[in-house]
Amino acid sequence: MPHCRIICSLLFIIISLYGCATRTEMLPAREQVGETATAVMVALESYRGDAKFFIKYRVGEQILYSGGDWQDRLELSAEPASANYVSPSMLPMQFRQQQPWESLPVDATLIPILGVDQWNELRDRMLRAVVPANGTGLVVDFEFMQYFLYYEPDGQFRAMRLLDKPADYSVHERLNFVEFMRSGRPTLESFLRERGITATELIFNTGDTGLYALPFLYLNTEHHLLAFIRNMPLRPVTTTTVAGLKRGQAFGHMMYSHLINLIQRPVSSLYRLFFLVGDTATSTLSIDWATGLSTQPIPPVGDSAPMDLQQWESELDKISSKPPSSGSLEVLVDGSAFFTRLIDRVGSARQSVHLQTYIFDNDDYALKIGDLLKRRSNEGIEVKVLLDGLGTISGTMSDSPTLPDEHLPPASVRRYLEADSKVNVRQKSNPWFTGDHVKATLIDRETAFVGGMNIGREYRYDWHDLMAEIRGPLVDIIDREFHLAWGHAGPFGDLGYLVALSRPRSKPDDVEGYPMRLLLTGPGNYEIFNAQVAAIRRAQSYIYIQNAYFTDDSLLRELVLARRRGVDVRVVIPMETDHGPINRSNVLAVNLMLEHGIRVYLYPGFSHVKAAIYDGWVCFGSANFDRLSLRINRELNVASSAPEVSQQLLERLFEPDFRVSPELTEPIPERWIDHLVEIIGDYVY
């Protein structure tokens, strides 16, 4: 009974804190001014000042007055910044009212307006050459928004957010805006000449309708600018009003992880604690290994033949806990490639979407993905989302530098996903501050995405990162791992894991594609670490690695020994990471590698990539080169000796990154505190 009172008291405090820390922001609904999601908005008058724009438009029988700021979004300088049209801005209509504007700025300029018919003609002429008419469409990146352009079977052209793409259409190609306008600019200029239009500023009525429509387009031919004026939905949002809310959520989650979790998952929690304590003791007793090597000369890079990959795969059979499998894989570098493909696959799913992530952020882009998942669940698709509790809470504590100022984050990602939807969300506990770092999404149990990207704005727009789309028998093994984690995160805990473990395994009769396998990290299972140590020891020709976190001394030792036997060892590492102190810990690792002849490249910006090639054997996924990823947290990597995979990784990742990353030739100045940070990093990162 005393334990029950303690638990109830803690829950009451957490619920009370949540109630004090949130509010519901009731924004005016469009219906209050007679506007509907399907009504066409027709611009009647338009003005531009130095800081604001104003549009008078008709919707149905009603006349409305709108406008917004654009001073920080468009640069109307004396000379155009480029001969090409720059990536367009999205100008939200920040107000709508029935009363005329009180006054217009003195500097307001009347802008001519062109009708929907003229826009349709121009648009069709620019798009007909690039948009297919065979059940597929074109994705164009408009700054921080992607639109899907396609033709319906009756020949009618449609444009909508990629997130709203019809399920029976797929993405044929993706273009950024500059590429699109480079090919379409001659058509635009010819169109204006034919109609005798000499004005340098125009507003097009596009006729676009919907909650996220682009009903008006501003064109400036003198400064090569385009700005879509966007019809934003105004809806109730529950937002954060107390700065300590996230700290309170983290505290409550950790209390749950160490109280309720021990009841639901007693065996796995104690099992995890046993290996955590044992590994900590082993790390503490490790000795300095580099001192004796410093006096030995560094040999030149040799010309040895690569290791025998067939023999290596046989050795991997003894290291890996999963059987070898097969499939096909496409490397997706950076958020534009991955999220375009992810949205396409989720939007076309026929049966199920199962998404597992370490962080599901509460920024604007993560909520767009959340809205897509909610819509698909309401359309009858089974949607399951598995979050790491501490990872998601900590991830929502910091914002992307590109996050719009007007964004209102929800207080709880889980509640946001569950609200008005059939999305089933489970949140993993974090006993002893350990976590589940896996990022994997399965579509219809036919396609899997794995790699290093979480769901958030940083991964879409700000950071360099890597994912892969996988098809074939390997997807069945990834699917099984998801269901084991899903069952373990459910209300029955360890018992739910045993039930998931008893599910019959599918055994495909045919081998599809080329050989691939999964490698995992978990309590007592260090196969990602063991496989890469063995690969480094076997490598004879080259080792290429890209990773943001180098705090594992054992792997550093093996890389140094490989270089000293003549292997070409190259490392791409960012000196700016999302964990501030680890920057200084990386300094020591970088200087040590440089001292022993390893070539180090400093990636410009932050790279979140976790990938390596050892004489043609590829290993990439969610695991960093740190203690947490290699010995403690749950991680998932994909590995393959297939030339098709290593060639993709070389051409799309390593070769481009070697070109853009300056090679370090002198050691980085060290500070006394770096050594303290490095010791702490061995236990924290």
Q: How confident is the model at residue 294 (pLDDT cuts 50, 70, 90)?
A: low
Quick one: 124 and 138 in the same domain? yes
Q: Rounded CA gap, 624 and 552, in Å?
A: 9
Cα separation, 681 vs 407, whole angstroms:
34
Share of the chain above pLDDT 70, in %: 83
Q: Is the same domain home to 148 and 161?
A: yes
CA-angle at 431, arms to 437 and 681, nearest 5°: 60
Q: Cα separation of 344 and 165, whole Å?
A: 7
Are residues 277 and 221 located together in one domain of the fold? no
> What does the pLDDT read at residue 393?
87
The pLDDT of residue 555 is above 80: yes
Q: How far apart are the first and last CA of the chain?
A: 39
Considering the domain architecture, whether residues 622 and 497 belong to the same structural domain is answered as no
**Residue 474 binned pLDDT confidence (cut-offs 50, 70, 90):** very high
Q: Token pair for residue 513?
A: 């594609």
Same structural domain, 474 and 454? yes
Residue 483 and residue 386: Cα distance in Å, rounded? 10
With contact defined as beta carbons under 8 Å apart, do 486 and 634 qualify? no
CB-based contacts of 94: which residues, under 8 Å, 6+ apart? 66, 67, 68, 69
pLDDT at residue number 679? 56
In 3D space, the residue among 109, 661, 639 whose CA is nearest the CA of residue 323 turns out to be 639
Residue 248 lies in a domain: no
Q: Which pLDDT belongs to residue 6? A: 31
Residues 196 and 338 in one domain: no
Q: How are strands ordered across the β-sheet holding 136-142?
A: 157-161, 145-151, 136-142, 170-176
Same domain, 453 and 553: no
Residue 14 lies in a domain: no
| The residue type at 432 | W
Burial class (CB in 10 A: 0-12, 13-18, 19+), 490: middle
Mean pLDDT of 614-641: 95
pLDDT above 60: residue 682: no
Instruction: Provide the 8-state DSSP code for 130.
Output: T
Within a domain: 154? yes
Residues 502 and 607 grouped into a single domain: no
Could you read off the pLDDT of 252-262 as tens digits, one per residue? Answer: 878 878 788 88
- Once rounded to an integer, what is the mean pLDDT over residues 620-648? 95
pLDDT exceeds 60 at position 22? no
> Which structural domain range is residue 194 located in?
30-230
Residue 631, pLDDT > 60, answer yes
Nearest CA among 548, 448, 445 for reference residue 503: 445
pLDDT bin (cut points 50, 70, 90) of residue 463 is very high
Backbone angles phi, psi at 673, to 5 degrees: -70, -20
Residue 18 has pLDDT above 70, yes or no: no
CATH number at residue 358: 3.30.870.10
pLDDT at position 204 over 80: yes
Average pLDDT over residues 487-505: 89
Residue-averaged pLDDT of the chain: 84
Greatest mean pLDDT range, 83-87, 116-120, 277-281, 438-442: 438-442
Main-chain dihedrals φ then ψ at residue 544, nearest 5 degrees: -115, 130
At residue 275, the pLDDT reads 80
In this prediction, residues 14-42 reach a mean pLDDT of 45
Q: Are 596 and 564 in contact (CB under 8 A)?
A: yes
Residue of 426, 395, 78, 28 whose CA lies nearest to 223? 78
Is residue 484 domain-resident? yes
Task: Give the pLDDT band of residue 3 (cuts 50, 70, 90).
Answer: very low
Q: Hey, what are 359's tokens?
A: 């962080």
Q: Over the stretch 54-113, which tens digit does the pLDDT of each residue have?
A: 999 998 889 999 998 887 666 665 455 556 777 667 788 888 889 999 888 888 899 999
6, two tokens? 């303690």
Residue 180: which H helix or E strand, with range? Answer: helix 177-194
For residue 16, is pLDDT > 80?
Answer: no
Q: Of the residues 512, 547, 582, which one is the last residue of a structural domain?
A: 512
Query: Which residue carries 């648009």 as its tokens?
Result: 123
Total domains present in the chain: 3
pLDDT at 416 over 90: yes
Residue 505 CA from chain centroid, whole number: 30
pLDDT, residue 680, reads: 56
| pLDDT > 60? residue 20 | no
Answer yes or no: do 353 and 488 share one domain. Answer: yes
Average pLDDT over residues 185-208: 91
CB 228 within 8 A of CB 217: yes
Longest dimension (CA), the chain: 86
* Separation CA 67–CA 57 (nearest Å): 11
Give 230's pLDDT tier (boundaries 50, 70, 90).
Answer: confident
Residue the block writes with tokens 């070539």: 599
Least confident interval from 137-141, 327-331, 557-561:
137-141
Residue 524 and residue 498 share a domain? no
> Who wins on pLDDT, 285 or 67?
67
pLDDT tens for 636-655 read 999 999 999 999 999 999 99
What is the pLDDT averaged over residues 290-301?
76
Domain boundary among the residues 512, 528, 562 is at 512
| Edge-first strand listing for the sheet containing 89-92 | 89-92, 225-230, 216-220, 201-205, 113-114
Specify whether 453 is located in the same domain as 586: no
The verdict on residue 652 lying in a domain is yes
User: Is residue 303 included in any domain, yes or no?
Assistant: no
Q: Do residues 214 and 130 share a domain?
A: yes
Q: Are residues 484 and 501 in contact, defined by beta-carbon separation less than 8 angstroms?
A: yes
pLDDT class of 29 with cuts at 50, 70, 90: very low
Q: How far apart are CA 222 and CA 213, in angstroms?
A: 26
Three-state secondary structure string covering 375-434: HHHHCCCEEEEEEEHHHHHHHCCCCCCCCCCCCCCECCHHHHHHCCCCCEEEEECCHHHC
Which residue, among 149, 168, 173, has the nearest Cα to 159 in the 3D structure? 149
Of the spans 112-121, 236-245, 288-297, which averages the highest pLDDT?
112-121
In a domain, 241, yes or no: no
Of the two residues 536 and 72, the one the predictor is more confident about is 536
Tokens of residue 274, six digits: 């046993």
pLDDT score for 433: 84
195 within a domain of the structure (yes/no) = yes
Q: Helix (H, G, I), strand (E, B), or coil: what is residue 192?
A: helix
pLDDT at 7 over 50: no
Select from 393, 460, 465 the least CA-distant residue to 430.
393
Q: What does the block give as tokens for 98?
A: 């029935």
Give the end of a domain, one of 465, 491, 512. Answer: 512
CA distance 469 to 330: 5
Backbone region of residue 670 per phi and psi (left: phi > 0; alpha: psi in -120 to 50; beta: other values):
beta
Name the more confident of 455 and 240. Answer: 455
Contact 225, 246 (CB under 8 A): no
